[in-house]
Amino acid sequence: MRIDLLTREYPPHVYGGAGVHVVGLGEVLRRTLDVRVHCFEGPRDEPGVRGYDVPAGLAGANSALGTLGVDLEMVAGVAAPGEDGTTTDLVHSHTWYANMAGHLASLLLDVPHVVTAHSLEPLRPWKAEQLGGGYALSGWAERTAYEGAAAVIAVSGGMREDILRCYPALDPDRVHVVHNGIDLDAWVRPTGPEDLARDAATLARFGIDPDRPTVVFVGRITRQKGLPYLLRACAGLPPEVQVVLVAGAPDTPGIAAEVTGLVEGLAATRSGVVWIDQMLPREDVVAVLSAATVFACPSVYEPLGIVNLEAMAVGVPVVGTATGGIPEVVVDGETGWLVPIDQVTDGTGTPTDPDRFVADLTAALTSATADPARAAAFGAASRRRVEEHFTWEAVAARTVEIYRSLV
């Protein structure tokens, strides 16, 4: 069976969970299937992978138009027979950026289209800041693809509920839950002398004190990740607690300025505020996570949160918002702490009582950092949980079941 995976993100250009998902899933699928990958941001050298640039005539246009231009190029690429003469049996798209390519390829070639839902455009209205009128196009593309798909995969039960609420025309029987996965060998706490020495050098390079209780955040600077709430919460932490932020790629100048102001304000009142304003290679992230007492996930919108799986795989407990798919990953009182949140229903995920949410975040992080022994026990339980429930082999097996039901 030949499967064509359609995605915006693919190495070396991976920015978030959707890209991590495609890489992890594709690696396992290749063991039993003929997998071709179509992605954005130009040609790749990897066999079976084809990258596309924005068509020259759309360069400089609204970014949503450029996306749709790449989608059309992808459709042509999928439709062309491979060097071995094969044609696709099924197309599987990831995020709205590639959903329209999947939808059109399905119509053109009369093959099933599977969509994996990593997020939903109606629940990210702040993207209007980025895309302007293009946000209306991204929403249209997503809705059209979802309603036309042979199957929609939600990365959590919470995400499935969101899909059916946002797109009530969808037949619930076509919406399946397949959790995200984690590469257990890639995300593991180092123990060997050479690895420990390398990690110590990494911490020294960034100015991280391995002997202080430490809260770590890793993520893009975007509204859904809730970083401003975390920064306000950290102002109330005990003075000995170190705060490490691996946070870059801001969505807009506005949120970049807001986060910069909050970090500067926090650093003016306490020591041990470390901001690494770039997305690091995996081995550096593992080093930073290994120094953490607790990982913070203050998201106001999170379909599942691969970043939580990565921290848990390294043996770090999580303080996470009780929203979206996070409660399906973090077990309150066992692998971490869930922070309650009541949210407005306008799609922004904004807490109805932001001050209460911030106070509850502060309380959970204080509890986590005050008892390192308990945090370590929760971290060990976290590693066991991802080993038992979130491997890419399990994700791929369930995904192949869906493929075979359609082909």
pLDDT in tens, 281-300: 999 999 999 999 999 999 99
Share of the chain above pLDDT 70, in %: 100
* In the predicted structure, residue 170 carries a pLDDT above the cut 90: yes
pLDDT of the residue at 100: 98
3-state secondary structure of 287: helix
Burial 16-32 (b: 16+ CB within 10 A, else e): bbbbbbbbbbbebbeee
The amino acid at 69: G
Name the DSSP class of 10.
B
Confidence of residue 252 (pLDDT cuts 50, 70, 90): confident
pLDDT for residue 239: 97
List beta partners, residue 3. Answer: 35, 90
What pTM, to 2 d.p., does this model score? 0.83
Read off the pLDDT of each residue in 107-112 and give the average, rounded to a whole number: 98
Average pLDDT over every residue of 73-83: 92
Q: Fill in the amino acid letter for 84.
A: D
The predicted structure's pLDDT at residue 131 = 72
Question: How would residue 81 be classed by pLDDT, with cut points 50, 70 and 90?
Answer: confident
Q: If we measure between CA atoms, which residue out of 114, 189, 178 comes closest to residue 392? A: 178
Given a cut of 90, whether residue 124 has pLDDT beyond it is no
Cβ 71 vs Cβ 100: under 8 Å: yes
Residue 153 has pLDDT above 90, yes or no: yes
Decide the pairing of beta strands 49-52 and 2-7.
Answer: unpaired
Per-residue model confidence (pLDDT) at position 305: 85
Confidence of residue 82 (pLDDT cuts 50, 70, 90): confident
> Helical H runs in 84-243?
96-109, 128-131, 134-148, 157-166, 193-206, 227-234
Report the pLDDT value the prediction gives residue 60, as an integer from 0 to 100. Answer: 84
Distance (Å, rounded) from C-alpha 12 to C-alpha 297? 25
Beta-bridge mates of residue 185? none
> What is the residue-averaged pLDDT of the chain?
94
Residue 130's alpha-carbon distances to 63, 65, 99, 134, 218, in angstroms, are: 9, 13, 19, 9, 22
pLDDT of residue 323: 95
Nearest in space to 172 (alpha carbons), one of 163, 159, 181: 163
Residue 296 and residue 274 in contact, taking contact as beta carbons nearer than 8 Å: no
